[in-house]
Amino acid sequence: MADHGTETAKMIDRKKLVVKLRKMVINPVCWLFILAYLPYAWSQRANSYFLLYLKGLTRADGHTPLFSTYKVNLIPLGGYGLSVVSSIGLNAISDWKGWRWQVSIFAVAIQTLSCAVLSAWPSSTPTILTFYFLTFTTAAWGYSLVAWLAELLRREPEARSVAVGVAVTLVYAGHATIPLRAWRTSDAPRYPLGFPLATAFAVASGAFVLALRCPPCQGSVHIGR
């Protein structure tokens, strides 16, 4: 990271840390990063219950399962494979071209479209499967956003660490509570609250990503010593 002009973390005294934390509170980059990171990570829950959907599919008689237990467990692996390939591919482009917010917005657009279609819950099983799989291709968003944060706060390793730490902590807090209402088992497989909420989360994340492009957030932001 140092070779690319980004400072890495090092030991600092308590007084300096307190000063930095105070200045972080009024720094727009830290807040906008957290506000962009949280809703999109929560939106990613949209494909967490894909296996339950596959398990509930039946043939025309309404009783015979469409997929065997083996296939129900195998099919989601294709989604995770897509996630790996898309993450590597999109973030390789992000590094090559320096497209940080562009890759994030691209992923947001796919996630928004996919969750919107799943919210409508079309009668076509192939359509639902297609958009379920598309949600797996959007994992690249988070990595490009963190890489962008490293560029915006290239001189502030402590601020980056705290911002990412706060974001991840709040993400897991949301993962532990939001599904209790939005992704209830009794609402499977349509999740009338879950998919619209995931759509709204994706849109909100995109708005905050675009807000990070405002002039005060651009360049190497220096929080101060």
pLDDT one-digit tens code per residue, 127-149: 999 999 999 999 888 899 999 99
pLDDT band at 6 (very low <50, low <70, confident <90, very high): low
Tell me the C-alpha distance between 68 and 18, whole Å.
58
- Assign residue 153 the CATH number of its domain: 1.20.1250.20
* Residues 7/155, Cβ–Cβ less than 8 Å: yes
Averaged pLDDT for residues 86-113: 95
The verdict on residue 161 lying in a domain is: yes
Helices (H), the chain: 14-25, 28-43, 50-56, 69-97, 100-120, 125-136, 140-152, 157-177, 179-182, 194-211
The verdict on residue 171 lying in a domain is: yes
Residue-wise pLDDT for 163-193, tens only, equals 999 999 999 999 999 999 999 999 999 999 9
* Residues 154/82, Cβ–Cβ less than 8 Å: no
Enclosing domain of residue 189? 14-19+27-217
Averaged pLDDT for residues 207-214: 93
Predicted local confidence at residue 218, as pLDDT: 65
Average pLDDT score, the chain: 88
- The answer to whether residue 8 scores a pLDDT higher than 70 is no
The verdict on residue 225 lying in a domain is: no
pLDDT band at 7 (very low <50, low <70, confident <90, very high): low
Cβ contacts of residue 24 below 8 Å, gap of 6+? 30, 159, 162, 163, 223
Highest mean pLDDT among 67-76, 110-119, 150-159: 110-119
- Count: domains in the chain: 1
What pTM was computed for the model?
0.88
Predicted local confidence at residue 210, as pLDDT: 95
Cα separation values, 178 from 39, 106, 149, Å: 11, 25, 26
Token pair 């043939």 in the structure block, residue: 59
The verdict on residue 222 lying in a domain is: no
Token pair 């959007």 in the structure block, residue: 138
Averaged pLDDT for residues 111-133: 97
Predicted local confidence at residue 173, as pLDDT: 97
Predicted local confidence at residue 223, as pLDDT: 55
The verdict on residue 1 lying in a domain is: no
The verdict on residue 5 lying in a domain is: no
Q: Phi and psi for 65 in degrees, rounded to 5?
A: -60, 140
Q: How many Cα atoms occupy the beta-carbon half-sphere of 101 within 13 Å?
A: 18
The verdict on residue 172 lying in a domain is: yes
The verdict on residue 163 lying in a domain is: yes
Tell me the C-alpha distance between 72 and 131, whole Å.
17
Bridge partner residues of 58 (DSSP): 65
Residue-wise pLDDT for 12-31, tens only, equals 666 766 766 777 777 889 99
